[in-house]
């Protein structure tokens, strides 16, 4: 008769590990929500009393966000929920005035990226702008809401001219696992009008977690690996003829970016 005790012990340990990671994930989600409220209620009022105008207030808020998100990611790593692989991430710390375009596989994308960038602007979903938890934070940071098409492009260009890198997820929302990225033309219009170089960031999460259709509590059975790779900058003029009419150039640039990110993501899958 085969002794199945080792199998039972291994299964029990696996279940304990799963429940531990689920608990940690829940605590970090709670910290994420409560943290935004605490920053708004307790930190920002005295912050506004410090010398400096709006630009200085934005810079201080962005630095606070970077530190807070770095703590969250550090907790997830230290407590065995996630593994983090970074490739060329130092480029994110010295990319002032550049467009930072990233694909969007997971809820953690912006958290990981902002944890690496002490100063950056970001185009955020309008729901976050109105959030009771993080609305005050994103407004204080000077982030740009995505539901004002009449001013969106000009606001993004102004942020770039101020010397800040600008993070954009060209897909506009989290992608569907297994499907190639599909991008509206808004990001291309921003790139064309600003004329700034594009710094592509390839993000993967294996196994997929915190995706668009996945609630936070549906975590994988084992720790997931989040991988961030910064690729060499792209010059808009090398991707599309900038002398073409704006609508045609935006369509061609969008097609180029979709192909670029699809190719890079497929390359990652083949290498892993």
Residue 261's pLDDT band (cuts 50, 70, 90): very high
* Domains: count for the chain: 1
- The SS3 assignment for 271 reads helix
- Least confident piece of the model among 15-29, 79-93, 180-194: 15-29
- d(C-alpha 69, C-alpha 46), whole Å: 21
Query: What CATH number is associated with residue 127?
Result: 3.40.1130
CB 96 within 8 A of CB 116: no
Asked if 20 contacts 116 with a C-beta cutoff of 8 angstroms, the reply is: no
Question: What is the pLDDT confidence band of residue 1, given thresholds at 50, 70 and 90?
Answer: very low
Q: What is the C-alpha to C-alpha distance for residues 2 and 61, in angstroms, rounded to an integer?
A: 61
Structural domain of residue 149, as residue ranges? 5-271
Average pLDDT over residues 78-107: 94
Percent of the chain with pLDDT over 70: 97
36-75 tens-digit pLDDT: 888 888 777 787 778 888 888 889 999 999 999 999 999 9
- Of 30-44, 68-82, 99-113, the one with minimum mean pLDDT is 30-44
Which residue, 214, 205, 238, 189, is CA-closest to 103? 205
The mean pLDDT value of the chain amounts to: 89
Per-residue buried b or exposed e for 133-145, using 16+ beta carbons within 10 Å of the residue's own CB: bbbbbbbbbbbbb
Burial class, 193, CB count within 10 angstroms (exposed 0-12 / middle 13-18 / buried 19+): middle
Segment 66-85 mean pLDDT = 94
Percent of the chain with pLDDT over 90: 52
Whether 11 has a pLDDT exceeding 80, the answer reads no
Q: How far is CA 201 from CA 13, 52, 127, in A?
A: 36, 33, 24
Cα separation, 258 vs 255, whole angstroms: 5
């Amino acid at each position: 008769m085969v002794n199945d005790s080792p199998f039972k012990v291994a299964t029990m340990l696996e279940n304990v590990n799963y429940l531990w990671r689920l608990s940690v994930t829940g605590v970090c989600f709670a910290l994420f929500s409560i943290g935004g409220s605490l920053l708004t209620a307790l930190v920002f009022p005295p912050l506004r009393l410090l010398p400096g105008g709006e630009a200085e207030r934005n810079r201080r808020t962005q630095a606070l966000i970077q530190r807070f998100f770095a703590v969250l990611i550090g907790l997830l790593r230290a407590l065995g929920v996630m593994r983090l692989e970074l490739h060329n991430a130092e480029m994110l710390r010295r990319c002032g005035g550049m467009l930072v375009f990233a694909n969007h596989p997971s809820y953690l994308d912006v958290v990981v990226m902002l944890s690496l960038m002490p100063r950056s602007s970001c185009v955020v979903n309008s729901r976050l702008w109105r959030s009771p938890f993080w609305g005050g934070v994103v407004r204080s940071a000077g982030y740009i809401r995505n539901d004002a098409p009449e001013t969106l492009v000009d606001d993004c260009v102004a942020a770039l001219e101020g010397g800040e890198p600008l993070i954009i997820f060209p897909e506009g929302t989290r992608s569907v696992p297994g499907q190639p990225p599909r991008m509206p033309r808004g990001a291309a219009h921003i790139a064309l009008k600003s004329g700034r170089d594009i710094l592509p960031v390839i993000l993967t999460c294996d196994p997929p977690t915190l995706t668009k259709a996945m609630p936070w509590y549906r975590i994988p059975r084992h720790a997931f690996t989040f991988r961030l790779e910064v690729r060499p900058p792209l010059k808009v003029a090398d991707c599309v003829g900038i002398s073409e009419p704006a609508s045609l150039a935006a369509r061609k640039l969008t097609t180029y970016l979709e192909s670029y990110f699809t190719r890079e993501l497929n390359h990652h899958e083949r290498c892993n």
